[in-house]
Amino acid sequence: MNADKLRKLFEQVRRGKVSPDEGVELLRHLPFEDLDFAKVDHHRALRVGMPEVILGQGKTPAQVAEIFARLARHSRNVLATRASNEQFAAVKKKARGAEYRELARAITLRRERKNYGKGSIAVVSAGTSDVPVAEEAVVTAELMGNSVEHFYDVGVAGIHRLLAHRKALARARVVIVCAGMEGALPSVVGGLIGVPVIAVPTSIGYGASFDGLAALLGMMNSCASNVTVVNIDNGFGAAYVATLINRV
């Protein structure tokens, strides 16, 4: 029931064609979904400047291209994650300005570059193999209007590499840490800084890493209290939450 229909009901009540009791009954029997106009959205501000997002994985190049082009008509920024070179080839024929971020496996269309964040987001990764996940976070955070700094290959077995960036890390408003294998990096980073750390376990590793389970469990048990965790390889989700924290 949209506002128009409701207004007509009130008109009929005013004109006496519908009694108040009948009005109550009519409203009572309206399907729930028509009351939808009553929904509130206090957080619209947080959504301004957010790109439209497509998950590339499991879609054909043609499907990705079509969805991408359609979204590009209404939204200034568009992001396709887990996208292949083939998907990008199809997209760029339909969406002028689309670019492929190979390391991040992401297709981006970025026509608005306004910074909506109050601070910057740091993205840290443990090893070079974790970079694709970290880059997914970087690209996502950029398209969502954040200033982003990244620190790669600073794993815990060479702790001085991480310590060398301590001051830079300390400038961030929120830090994303991607690590596979033992997943120890978020704890160390979490102990160095005083802002929220979003830990992303990666599926990097072999044997007893069990496709990221070891890293995931490690991060869940972090002895640093400022660490929360997202799903294995979920660079996008980490950047999304980091964006929300950077905007509040």
The three-state secondary structure class of 138 is: helix
Q: How far is the CB of 96 from a second copy (least distance, A)?
A: 27
Piece of the chain touching a second copy by CB under 8 A; list 73-81, 89-97, 98-106, 156-164: 156-164
Piece of the chain touching a second copy by CB under 8 A; list 83-91, 101-109, 145-153, 220-228: 220-228
101's tokens: 């971020």
Given a contact cutoff of 8 angstroms between Cβ atoms, the answer to whether 186 and 220 are in contact is no
Query: Is residue 17 packed enough to be buried (19+ CB in 10 Å), middle (13-18) or exposed (0-12)?
Result: exposed
Given a contact cutoff of 8 angstroms between Cβ atoms, the answer to whether 92 and 117 are in contact is no
Output 41 or 74, the one with its CB closest to a second copy: 41
Output 50 or 91, the one with its CB closest to a second copy: 50
Piece of the chain touching a second copy by CB under 8 A; list 73-81, 89-97, 105-113, 182-190: 182-190
Buried b (16+ CB within 10 A) or exposed e, 37-60: eeeeeeeeeeeebbbbbbebeebe
Output 20 or 96, the one with its CB closest to a second copy: 20
Per CB under 8 A, the list member of 87, 91, 181, 235 interacting with a second copy is 181
Per CB under 8 A, the list member of 155, 177, 178, 235 interacting with a second copy is 155
| CB-CB neighbours of 116 under 10 Å | 17
Piece of the chain touching a second copy by CB under 8 A; list 70-78, 88-96, 102-110, 126-134: 126-134
- Does position 154 interact with a second copy (CB under 8 A)? The reply is no
193's tokens: 């800084």
Q: How far is the CB of 92 from a second copy (least distance, A)?
A: 24
The three-state secondary structure class of 154 is: coil
- Does position 116 interact with a second copy (CB under 8 A)? The reply is no
Q: Residues near 107 by Cβ (< 8 Å), separated by ≥ 6?
A: 56, 64, 68, 78, 79, 80, 83, 87, 88, 91, 98, 99, 100, 101
Q: Taking CB under 8 A as the criterion, which residues in 5-24 touch a second copy?
A: 6-8, 10-11, 13-14, 16, 19-21, 23-24
Helical spans, DSSP H, in 120-229 = 131-143, 159-163, 166-170, 185-192, 213-220
Q: Taking CB under 8 A as the criterion, which residues in 26-65 touch a second copy?
A: 27-28, 30-33, 35-44, 46-47, 57-58
Output 97 or 177, the one with its CB closest to a second copy: 177
- Does position 130 interact with a second copy (CB under 8 A)? The reply is no
Output 47 or 93, the one with its CB closest to a second copy: 47
